[in-house]
Amino acid sequence: MVEKNYLTREEYKLWKYIEDKEIVDSELIRMIFPEITSNKKNKLLYGLYKKGYLKRAKKDLYYNPAKLKNLYKLALRIKEGYIGLGSALRYYNLIEYEDFTITVITRNFREKIPLKGANYEVKYIPFKKYFTGFVLRDDIYISTIEKTMFDCFVRPREIGFVNITKALYDAPINWRKFMAFFKGVNNNALCQRTGYVLEMMKEYINLKIPSFVFEYLEKRVKNPVKLMPVKGRSVYNQKWKIQDNMGREKIVSWWQ
C-alpha cells in the first residue's frame, strides 16, 4: 500500500472534492474551483500525485486506482482510438481469459503504457487504413462485433486463431456487415487466411456461413501465403493457397 503524505490545506480541500472520482483532469478542477488559476490547478494535482493520492496517466490526466472501474474509458482518454481485438472480445463475452492488457486501436499511434496501481497495461496498435468500424457503447468507443472479428484476422498474432475460432462460433455475426470490411481492401492474404479458417469451421464444426462469403473470398486467392507469419512445418492447401503452419487440431482445439 502506498504511504500517503501530509497534504497542504489547499490540497486537502481539493482532495475532499475529488477522492471519489475515477479520472481527474484540469478541466474537472476548473468546474469545481473556477477561481483557481491553471498554474495552481496543475501544481495541486501534481502534489496529490507526488504524495500518492493519484496516479498520473499523462500530462493533466490523473486517476485514482482505488476508485477506478472503467479502465477502457481511461485508456481512451490517454490516446484517442477504439477498444479492439482481445479487449473487444472480452467486452462482448466472446473470450473468457483476462491477460491484463487493454488493447486500443489507433490511427497511427503505437505504445505500451502501464496503468500503475491497476495492474494493467494499455497497448496502442496503429491500424491506419483499417481505422474504422467502431461505435459508442457504455460511454466508450469500441469496434462492432463484425469489425472486431475482421481486425482479429488482420492481426491474428495479437489474439491467436484458437481464440478467433472460438469467438466466431459464439458471435452473433451479421455476415454482410462482416464482408463489407473486406471489399475495397487491397489485401489478398487477409482474404485467403479468412476463407481458409471459415471453411475449416464450416466443414469441421458445421458453422453456418452463407455461400456469398466464400464466393467473394475465393476470388481474392492469389499467391501462396502462410497462415501465421512464423516459422514451422506446414501443410499446403491448394484451394486457398495457404501454408497451414498451425494445423486444424490446434486451431479448433476447444471443440469437443
Specify whether the CB–CB gap between 175 and 209 falls below 8 A: yes
SS3 content of the chain, % helix, strand, coil (to 5): 40, 20, 40
Whether pLDDT at 120 is above 50:
yes
- pLDDT of 256 reads 66
DSSP string across 198-218: HHHHHHHT-----HHHHHHHH
The CA distance from 229 to 238, in Å, is 18
Query: How confident is the model over 23-69, as pLDDT tens digits?
Result: 998 888 888 888 888 888 888 899 999 999 999 999 889 999 999 99
Domain with CATH 1.10.10 in the chain: 9-63
Q: What DSSP designation does 185 have? A: -
Query: How confident is the model over 93-108, as pLDDT tens digits?
Result: 999 877 799 999 999 9
The CA distance from 73 to 99, in Å, is 18
Mean pLDDT of 171-175: 97
pTM here is 0.90
Percent of the chain with pLDDT over 70: 98
The CA distance from 123 to 114, in Å, is 9
- Biggest alpha carbon–alpha carbon distance for the chain: 74
The CA distance from 102 to 115, in Å, is 10
- pLDDT of 1 reads 43
Fold assignment, 9-63: Arc Repressor Mutant, subunit A (1.10.10)
Greater pLDDT, 231 or 250: 250
Query: How confident is the model over 183-219, as pLDDT tens digits?
Result: 988 999 999 999 999 999 999 999 999 999 999 999 9
Mean pLDDT score across all residues of the chain? 92
Cell of 10: 489547499
DSSP string across 148-175: HHHHHHHSHHHH-HHHHHHHHHHS---H
**Rg for the chain, CA atoms, rounded:** 23
Give the residue among 58, 181, 35 at the shortest CA–CA distance from 45. 58
- Read off the pLDDT band of 112 (50, 70, 90): very high
Torsion of the alpha carbons at 69, 167, 218 and 230, rounded to the nearest 10 = 80
